[in-house]
Amino acid sequence: MACRDLEKGKSAKEEILSRLCTENSSNPSSVHSVEMKPDQLVCEELDLESPKSIRQFAGRIISREKSVSILINNAGASLSGKSYDGVGIEKHIKVNHLGHFLLTKLLKPCLRTSDGEFCRIIILSSLSHWFARLDPKSAYLSGIGSAYAISKLLNVMHAREICKRWSTDGIVAVSVHPGLVRTSIFRSSKLRHFLVYYLVRWLSRTCREGAQTTIFCALVENLIPGAYYSECQPRSCNSQALNDEVCDHVWKTSEALIKKWESLEEK
CA dihedral (253, 258, 260, 264) in degrees, to 10, reads 160
Q: Report the relative pairing of strands 70-73 and 119-124 from DSSP bridges.
A: parallel
Q: Which amino acid is at 124?
A: L
Residue 3 — φ and ψ, nearest 5°? -135, 135
229 is catalytic: no
Annotated active-site residue in 148, 198, 228, 229:
148
Number of residues assigned to the chain: 267
Rg (C-alpha) for the chain, rounded Å, is: 19
Determine the residue type at 210. G
Please name the helix (run of DSSP H) or strand (run of DSSP E) that holds residue 255, with its range, or none: helix 244-266
First to last CA, the chain: 30
Question: What is the number of alpha carbons within 13 Å of residue 111 lying toward its C-beta?
Answer: 24
Q: Which residues are catalytic?
A: 148
